[in-house]
């Protein structure tokens, strides 16, 4: 966790210099933002992580810890039994960009009786670290910038995925999911939403972090 924090601080320390050099314009290019400026690379943040095994492992660990300690879960207030029914689809829920599967593990505990497969999708660097998933949960290697291979699932879930990408790439991610949906499919977008004004400090900090690392934002 310390190393990940050090990386974060290294990026943020270069943000003022980045803005001065770019005429104080908000970054919009995910391949040419404060992260690339600080690390002297043209790689996207996650592509750079793949070239740094220690940082990648630390990132996976930290994300797992954060996912286990985040308060109320979406399925505790969403009407799961009314809305999420496998019906004609053999797949109940696809967690797109779901990392190591923590969300689906948490989801399955209170709803073990719901029929249909649960599928966690992510890049190989994450899926290769997935271990000991219970029956009913599958891990699938998938790049969400390519066509969604699971068609007509009951629901597709995105948790803190879109805030890693500027609008152009976010639209591509959503488009690939849309093309896999049918009229009964549901898209669940699970993101922090910020007010237009008077944003609290604790909410503004992640927004700044998204800008620095991904040229993106926590959207209003």
Active site residues: 163
Q: By the 8 A CB rule, do 133 and 107 touch?
A: no
Compute the distance between CA of residue 142 and CA of residue 153 in angstroms, rounded to an integer: 15
Compute the distance between CA of residue 134 and CA of residue 107 in angstroms, rounded to an integer: 12
Comparing CA positions, the residue from 9, 1, 13, 7 lying closest to residue 48 is 7
**Buried (b) or exposed (e) across 107-144, using 16+ Cβ within 10 A?**
bbeeeeebebbbbbbbbebbbebbeebeeebbbbebeb
Please report, for the chain, how many H helices and E strands are present, in that order: 10, 5
Compute the distance between CA of residue 213 and CA of residue 18 in angstroms, rounded to an integer: 12
* C-alpha torsion 183→141→99→189, nearest 10: -20
Count of Cβ atoms closer than 10 Å to residue 154 Cβ:
25
């Amino acid at each position: 966790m310390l190393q990940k924090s050090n990386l974060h601080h290294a990026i943020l320390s270069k943000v003022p210099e980045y803005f001065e050099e770019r005429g104080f314009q908000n970054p919009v290019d995910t391949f040419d933002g404060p992260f690339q400026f600080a690390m002297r690379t043209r790689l996207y943040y996650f592509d750079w992580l793949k070239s740094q095994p220690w940082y990648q492992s630390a990132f996976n660990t930290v994300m797992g810890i954060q996912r286990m300690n985040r308060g109320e879960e979406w399925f505790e207030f969403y009407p799961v039994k009314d809305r999420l029914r496998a019906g004609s689809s053999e797949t109940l829920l696809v967690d797109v960009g779901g990392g190591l599967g923590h969300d689906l593990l948490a989801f399955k505990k209170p709803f073990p009786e719901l029929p249909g497969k649960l599928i966690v999708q992510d890049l190989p660097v994450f899926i290769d670290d997935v271990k000991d998933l219970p029956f009913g949960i599958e891990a699938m290697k998938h790049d969400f910038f390519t066509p969604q291979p699971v068609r007509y699932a009951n629901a597709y879930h995105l948790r803190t995925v879109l805030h890693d990408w500027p609008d152009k790439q976010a639209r591509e991610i959503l488009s690939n999911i849309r093309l896999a949906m049918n009229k009964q499919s549901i898209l669940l977008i699970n993101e922090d939403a910020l007010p237009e004004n008077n944003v609290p400090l604790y909410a503004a900090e992640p927004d700044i972090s998204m800008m620095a690392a991904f040229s993106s934002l926590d959207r209003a």
